[in-house]
């Protein structure tokens, strides 16, 4: 079956991991800091904090921003559940902002309206997590201005978007946000097998996130509460987690990063082929913004049916033809866990309409011309 996504692992990637296996350090060596430095330099951000998953990065980002019990965090209903769960880990509550159907991202107008209503009721959120669906940045200038106007901390969930750009700046530069998050899951743009990273330009946030990823432990004298007992000494000064990235992951990520632009270029080339081939069909792809370079983690099309059964049948038929059509994502507020909190069908109409129509098509650097043409021919036949 042709998958919707797949990692690309080179001999150089394998050699980088083997070198670590033969070294003295499988964890807490030099490779993770090298990976952090390389990503921060690429993205033009001051700090990068590597962790074992993007979920962990989202969690420590919320904690570093002071999200706690009694607070509210808003995010997009069209994302993986981690974008909302991270706030619950902090004992905060979650709400959602509806999307723009043309992009799949948070709608700035919907956000402005919801903020005005919340301000009137004195129920403004502590933080907003803006999700860059499929690799295209949200309208961060508009979102950032609103966050600043209402005094809200802003996290970019850029799990899909490393290698992308917004207004000529790399996604991850934190041009309008406090913290940006990347994922290095195998089907993402680059992989460290599992892994994530939080980027920020704020020194205090970087210090807080580094402590949080490693049990709240410090080992430098200037961070300790009393003189060091000796070269072995460390202190736990807060409650943290074991969210560290291993040297194996760091080495793989560092090797993959050297091909990031190549991967993004190939994904954009494949997306243009889909665009051209499907232009005269009834399928519509998510609209690329002129001021963005999408990293095209996903190529999402919207079916013309607006019907749950036809949607299911179409994806099933794709799979019957050995094409792994997929759906990204089920609206978070319609998950049973979130329904139990009081969310219901009808709360976010655009997200719900999107879900009735969205299909992710195969897109990854190793997708062959033959396989892509087969996908295109099958789509046209099914339509």
pLDDT at 225: 93
Considering the domain architecture, whether residues 102 and 242 belong to the same structural domain is answered as yes
Considering the domain architecture, whether residues 163 and 284 belong to the same structural domain is answered as no
251 and 23 Cβ atoms separated by less than 8 Å: no
Domain assignment present for 323? yes
Range of the domain at 149: 11-257
pLDDT at 14: 98
pLDDT at 178: 98
Considering the domain architecture, whether residues 137 and 192 belong to the same structural domain is answered as yes
**Sign (positive or negative) of CA dihedral 370, 372, 377, 378:** positive
CATH label of the domain that carries residue 97: 3.40.640.10
Domain assignment present for 60? yes
Place of tokens 């339509």: 383
For the chain, 383 residues long, give each residue's pLDDT as a single digit of tens: 999 999 999 999 999 999 999 999 999 999 999 999 999 999 999 999 999 999 999 999 999 999 999 999 999 999 999 999 999 999 999 999 999 999 999 999 999 999 999 999 999 999 999 999 999 999 999 999 999 999 999 999 999 999 999 999 999 999 999 999 999 999 999 999 999 999 999 999 999 999 999 999 999 888 899 999 999 999 999 999 999 999 999 999 999 999 999 999 999 999 999 999 999 899 999 988 889 999 999 999 999 988 999 999 999 999 999 999 999 999 999 999 999 999 999 999 999 999 999 999 999 999 999 999 999 999 999 99
CA R_g for the chain: 21
Considering the domain architecture, whether residues 21 and 132 belong to the same structural domain is answered as yes
Is beta strand 284-285 parallel, antiparallel or unpaired with respect to 299-302? antiparallel
Beta bridge mates, 231:
none
DSSP for 224-288 reads: SSS--SSTT--EE-S---B-PPPHHHHHHHHHHHTTHHHHHHHHHHHHHHHHHHHTTSS-EEPPP
Q: Which helix (H) or strand (E) holds 200?
A: strand 196-200
80 and 132 Cβ atoms separated by less than 8 Å: no
Considering the domain architecture, whether residues 199 and 248 belong to the same structural domain is answered as yes
Q: Of 73, 39, 46, which Cα lies nearest the Cα of 58?
A: 73
The model's pTM is 0.97
Please state, in angstroms and as integers, the Cα–Cα distance from residue 177 to each residue in 95, 141, 150, 155, 181, following that order: 19, 10, 14, 6, 11
pLDDT at 281: 94
Domain boundary among 205, 223, 257: 257
Considering the domain architecture, whether residues 184 and 303 belong to the same structural domain is answered as no
| Cis ω before 329 (30° cut-off from 0) | yes
- In the numeric block, which tokens belong to residue 298? 């996903």
Domain boundary among 257, 292, 314: 257
Domain assignment present for 191? yes
pLDDT at 222: 87
Domain boundary among 224, 257, 290: 257
Domain assignment present for 59? yes
| Residue 186 burial by Cβ neighbours in a 10 Å radius (0-12, 13-18, 19+) | middle
Domain assignment present for 5? no
Report the SS3 class of residue 298.
coil
pLDDT at 192: 98
Considering the domain architecture, whether residues 49 and 133 belong to the same structural domain is answered as yes
pLDDT at 287: 86
Beta bridge mates, 129:
75, 155
Report the SS3 class of residue 236.
strand
Domain assignment present for 4? no
CA–CA separation, 311 vs 54, rounded Å?
A: 30
CATH label of the domain that carries residue 362: 3.90.1150.10
**Sign (positive or negative) of CA dihedral 344, 347, 351, 352:** positive
- In the numeric block, which tokens belong to residue 174? 């934190």
- Residue 189 half-sphere exposure toward CB, CA atoms < 13 A: 32
Considering the domain architecture, whether residues 224 and 80 belong to the same structural domain is answered as yes
Domain assignment present for 6? no
Considering the domain architecture, whether residues 335 and 374 belong to the same structural domain is answered as yes
Q: Of 294, 295, 351, which Cα lies nearest the Cα of 327?
A: 351
Domain assignment present for 136? yes
* Helical H segments across 24-67, by residue range: 31-43, 54-64
pLDDT at 35: 98
Considering the domain architecture, whether residues 211 and 333 belong to the same structural domain is answered as no
Q: How many separate domains does the chain show?
A: 2
Considering the domain architecture, whether residues 47 and 109 belong to the same structural domain is answered as yes
Considering the domain architecture, whether residues 201 and 291 belong to the same structural domain is answered as no
- Work out the number of other CB atoms within 10 angstroms of the CB of residue 371: 14
Q: Which helix (H) or strand (E) holds 359?
A: strand 358-361
Geometric angle at alpha carbon 59, from 53 and 65, rounded to 5°: 135
């Amino acid at each position: 079956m042709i998958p919707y996504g797949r990692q690309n692992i080179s001999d150089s990637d394998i050699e980088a991991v083997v070198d670590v296996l033969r070294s003295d350090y499988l964890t807490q060596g030099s490779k993770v800091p090298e990976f952090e430095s390389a990503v921060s330099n690429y993205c033009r951000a001051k700090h990068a904090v590597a962790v074992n998953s993007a979920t962990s990065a989202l969690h420590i980002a919320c904690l570093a921003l002071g999200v706690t019990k009694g607070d509210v965090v808003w995010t997009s209903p069209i994302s993986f559940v981690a974008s909302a769960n991270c706030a619950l880990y902090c004992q905060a509550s979650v709400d959602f902002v509806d999307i723009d159907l043309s992009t799949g991202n948070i709608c700035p107008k919907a956000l402005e309206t919801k903020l005005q209503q919340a301000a009137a009721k004195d129920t403004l959120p502590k933080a907003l997590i803006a999700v860059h669906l499929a690799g295209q940045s949200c309208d961060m200038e508009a979102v950032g201005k609103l966050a600043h106007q209402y005094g809200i901390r802003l996290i970019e969930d850029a799990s899909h978007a490393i290698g992308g750009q917004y207004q000529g700046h790399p996604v991850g530069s934190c041009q309008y946000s406090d913290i940006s998050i990347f994922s290095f899951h195998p089907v993402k743009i680059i992989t460290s097998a599992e892994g994530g990273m939080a980027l920020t330009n704020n020194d205090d946030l970087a210090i807080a996130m580094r402590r949080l990823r490693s049990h709240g432990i410090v080992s430098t004298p200037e961070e300790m509460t009393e003189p060091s007992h000796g070269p072995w000494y460390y202190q736990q000064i807060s409650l943290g987690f074991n969210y560290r990235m291993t040297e194996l992951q760091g080495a793989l990520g560092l090797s993959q990063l050297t091909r990031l632009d190549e991967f993004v270029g190939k994904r954009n080339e494949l997306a243009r082929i889909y665009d051209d081939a499907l232009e005269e069909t009834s399928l519509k792809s998510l609209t690329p913004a002129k001021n963005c370079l999408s990293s095209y983690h996903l190529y999402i099309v919207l079916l013309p049916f607006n019907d749950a059964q036809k949607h299911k049948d179409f994806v099933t038929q794709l799979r019957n033809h050995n094409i792994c059509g997929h759906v990204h994502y089920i609206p978070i507020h319609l998950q049973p866990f979130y329904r139990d909190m009081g969310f219901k069908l009808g709360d976010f109409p655009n997200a719900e309409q999107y879900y009735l129509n969205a299909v992710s098509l195969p897109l990854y650097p190793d997708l062959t011309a033959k396989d892509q043409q087969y996908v295109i021919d099958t789509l046209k036949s099914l339509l």
